[in-house]
Amino acid sequence: MNHTATQAPEYYLKTYFGYESFRPLQREIIGDILQKKDALILMPTGGGKSICYQIPALMLSGITIVVSPLISLMKDQVDSLIANGVPAAFLNSTLSFEEEGEIIRNCMEENIKLLYLAPERLISTFDFLSQNIKIQLIAIDEAHCISGWGHDFRPEYTQLSVLKQKLPHVPIVALTATADKVTRKDILSQLRIPEAKVFIASFNRPNLSLEVRSGWTEKNKSSAILKYIRSKPHESGVIYCLSRKITEKIAAFLQSNGVNASFYHAGMSPGDRSRVQEAFMNDTTPVIVATIAFGMGIDKSNIRWVIHYNLPKNIEGYYQEIGRAGRDGLPSDTILYYNYADLQILTRFATESGQPELNLEKLGRIQQFAESDVCRRKILLNYFAENTTENCGNCDVCKNPPKHFDGTILIQKALSAVMRTQEKVGVNLLIDILRGSQKQEIIEKNYHKIKTFGSGVGISAFDWKHYILQMLNLGVIEMAYDENFSLKVTELGKKILFGTSTMEMVIPKDYEEIRKKSTKEKAFEKEAFIPAVVTLEERLFDNLRLVRKKLAQDQNVPPYIIFHDTSLKEMAAYLPVSMQELRQIYGVSLTKSEKYGYEMLAEITRFIHENQIIRKKEVFISKPQIVSAPQNTHKTPTHEVTFILFKEGLSIEAIAEKRMLNISTIHTHLQTCYLHHLIEDHTPYISEEEINLVANAARVVGSPEKIKSIYEFLEDKVEYLVIRWAIAVLKKNDRLSP
């Protein structure tokens, strides 16, 4: 491959990566790079950053140098490229002298297209490499690490400032998933590419659900997490914790309750960390409990959930960590637990850091995110300067809009207690006073004698925590971090206290209902691993995962490098039985079809015959191909099970919870019912304006079945769920003609 490409970028996209079309901005970025222009690329995790430099690397005649911060990340990226037929290699401390020599010789002969190195290794070998290798492009991954304003500053990255000076005519492409405006400006300055074009893709990850749970005790958190994991058998997830001690404690709790989990933190030996990470990547250990040390090296595409056991220290870190879920585009969950104890610890860390003002400000923003009663995705996108006024419909606030009440009297009770204790109490002690506790500290300080002692006895401690959290967020009280986190009444608070102002508050969710649910744990355990209906498609997907796992073991690579879950799900839905059909599956490149396709086709063919499936032959990839169950089965089709519950009056959310399926899956069932005339009214789910938008997009892309193309044509403004509803309506009413 020592020639300059004559084919268009789309050819390389399909041949080497198995994708039919580019995502937004990718094509434009590639065009600029091929014109030798510098660029700063901001795309969310899983948004397709790597494609932006990997395709130019294939098209240019020389070598592309890729700066990557972690050995494990380099190995995964190189393994993925090789699996797709792209000649790539890395240089790091895991290689022998002979192996390094072979790689350098291959680079000199232009038998390798992409060479991955850590920043310090690149600088130490740069003079030799630049004199002996034809460097055509330099890509700097995780570029936010070069900035002191970034959330993950690494001093070794600052050495990269010499690259532009030494190779002024070689384009530099800096890539990151998280960088605010200050960090972006600093990246350009540090790399000496001030004129580089900045490409900012949408930070919206609509497949990620966002949820914040406030005020939970340690015991209730652990029980809820255990219950959640049991509802997601065979799925991978990460639990992020604030300290090493907590990771070990939670991992031990999960293990004692039958969950295959391991902990991971910087206090472990390199060998132990490597073993834990490898087991996770290979789907051997599905659950990891970790500190943020478990970070950039994680390129696993099928992480289905991320839980934050504690509040993160800033939004950038939070966004990057939840971004590790659902990189394959499939629905994935994120849950954040938040309480005052975390806030106190993080405030101390920020105050004692080298940049206290900056870190306290960033902590304040993540606190506001956690406490907010407006769409959480809207807050995230606005933080990254992607202004939006639309609610996402896939966060806890949108799914359960808060109810408000006049909280003036309640606030006055709390503020009166704060003032009568000379503003020397913290949150927990204030709650004890309001609830009339007889704790020794209260008696010793005579707080039991103040007028408002016990005035809030009818309100649970759980609810009081929510109310005080709101008071902080509304600016009614403030926390004096330098006075042992005592509460102070603000000027606004004094207006409410003295009756010159009023204030509305949000009604907390019913904690008693949460508590009652947790008492049903045993019954839940019995049901958790037995789905109501296991469809043929789901069975085939599980079978294909086993085939993939064996192939991965044979190749000594993580399973997702063989095929992503997205590809397996399409195979299970569309049932390809020839190599030509298999290559139409999303993410199946030419090389992958040749390497692994025969095993997948053999399993699909076996499954079809064994289950007597009638396969539609007229058009491949037009609709799910499993159209009839085997004759000897008596299971009700899955969409009919959903329809029965729907007719009983259950909401979509309730049906999803009862059947332990995603909400999007329930919508798919209802769409099938609509097409079969079981449901006649589509208006609760989609508007006429949305139907017309999708109809126009379908005509432009040439097919209503190209849902991803329609989604991209509409610039990610219309969700996949809405697009699928629109197509169902258009099909039923014969409105798909050009």
Residue 72, pLDDT above cutoff 80: no
- 90 contacts: CB under 8 Å, gap ≥ 6: 68, 71, 74, 75, 78, 103, 115, 116, 117
Which domains does the chain carry? 9-200 (3.40.50.300), 208-399 (3.40.50.300), 404-508 (1.10.10.10), 536-610 (1.10.150.80), 638-732 (no CATH)
**Cβ–Cβ under 8 Å, residues 170 and 60:** no
Q: What is the pLDDT of residue 4?
A: 54
The rounded percent of the chain whose pLDDT value lies above 70 is 89
Q: Amino acid identity of 581? A: E
Residue 48 region by backbone torsions, left for phi larger than 0, else alpha for psi between -120 and 50, else beta? left
Q: What is the pLDDT of residue 528?
A: 37
Residue 633, pLDDT above cutoff 60: no
Residue 636, pLDDT above cutoff 60: no
Residue 596, pLDDT above cutoff 70: yes
CA neighbor of 400 nearest in space, from 379, 381, 423, 373: 373
Burial class (CB in 10 A: 0-12, 13-18, 19+), 219: exposed
Kind and range of the H or E element at 173?
Answer: strand 172-176
Q: What is the pLDDT of residue 521?
A: 38
Q: What is the pLDDT of residue 635?
A: 44
Q: Which residue has the higher pLDDT, 12 or 622?
A: 12
What are the phi and psi torsion angles at 734 (to 5°)? 50, 50
Q: Name the β-bridge partners of 626.
A: 615
The secondary structure of 308-367 as a DSSP string is ESS--SSHHHHHHHHTTS-TTSS-EEEEEEE-HHHHHHHHHHHHTSS-HHHHHHHHHHHH
Q: Which residue has the higher pLDDT, 492 or 295?
A: 492
Half-sphere exposure of 393 (CA within 13 A, CB side): 13
Burial class (CB in 10 A: 0-12, 13-18, 19+), 513: exposed
Structure tokens at 582: 């298999």
CA neighbor of 23 nearest in space, from 12, 35, 37, 13: 13
Instruction: List, edge to edge, every strand of the sheet that includes 39-42.
Output: 88-91, 114-117, 63-67, 135-140, 172-176, 39-42, 197-200
Question: How many CB atoms are closer than 10 A to CB 590?
Answer: 17
Query: pLDDT tens across 487-525, in order?
Result: 999 898 999 999 999 988 888 765 444 444 444 433 433
CA distances from 607 to 321, 544, 599, 722 (A): 38, 10, 12, 32
DSSP type of residue 384: T
Burial class (CB in 10 A: 0-12, 13-18, 19+), 680: exposed
Q: What is the pLDDT of residue 724?
A: 86
pLDDT mean over 293-320: 86
Q: What is the pLDDT of residue 282?
A: 87
- 397 contacts: CB under 8 Å, gap ≥ 6: 372, 373, 374, 375, 376
Query: pLDDT tens across 604-629, in order?
Result: 988 888 888 877 655 454 444 444 43
Q: What is the pLDDT of residue 533?
A: 54
pLDDT mean over 62-80: 86
* Mean per-residue pLDDT of the chain: 84
Q: What is the pLDDT of residue 344?
A: 85
CA neighbor of 117 nearest in space, from 169, 67, 188, 44: 67
Query: pLDDT tens across 110-162, in order?
Result: 899 999 998 998 998 998 998 999 999 999 998 988 987 766 778 888 889 89
Q: What is the pLDDT of residue 239?
A: 97
pLDDT mean over 207-226: 90
- 704 contacts: CB under 8 Å, gap ≥ 6: 698, 710, 727, 730, 731, 736
pLDDT mean over 703-710: 76
DSSP type of residue 150: S
Of 108-122, 397-411, 599-613, 625-639, least confident by mean pLDDT is: 625-639
Q: What is the pLDDT of residue 57?
A: 95
Q: What is the pLDDT of residue 481?
A: 59
Question: From CA 7, how far away is CA 713, in angstroms rounded?
Answer: 24
Q: What is the pLDDT of residue 343?
A: 86
Q: What is the pLDDT of residue 3?
A: 43
Of 128-132, 580-584, 711-715, least confident by mean pLDDT is: 711-715
Alpha helices in 519-662 (DSSP H): 521-528, 536-555, 559-562, 565-574, 579-582, 590-610, 638-647, 652-659
Question: From CA 399, how far away is CA 685, in angstroms rounded?
Answer: 14
Question: From CA 160, how far away is CA 165, in angstroms rounded?
Answer: 10
Residue 686, pLDDT above cutoff 50: yes
pTM of the model: 0.62
pLDDT mean over 54-65: 93
| Most confident among 23-37, 93-107, 618-632 (mean pLDDT) | 23-37
Q: What is the pLDDT of residue 567?
A: 92
Nearest 10 degrees: Cα torsion 675, 680, 683, 684: -90
The secondary structure of 53-83 as a DSSP string is HHHHHHHSSSEEEEE-S-HHHHHHHHHHHHH
- pLDDT interval class at 720 (50, 70, 90): confident
Question: How many CB atoms are closer than 10 A to CB 465?
Answer: 21
pLDDT mean over 200-215: 89
Residue 722, pLDDT above cutoff 90: no
**Cβ–Cβ under 8 Å, residues 39 and 32:** yes
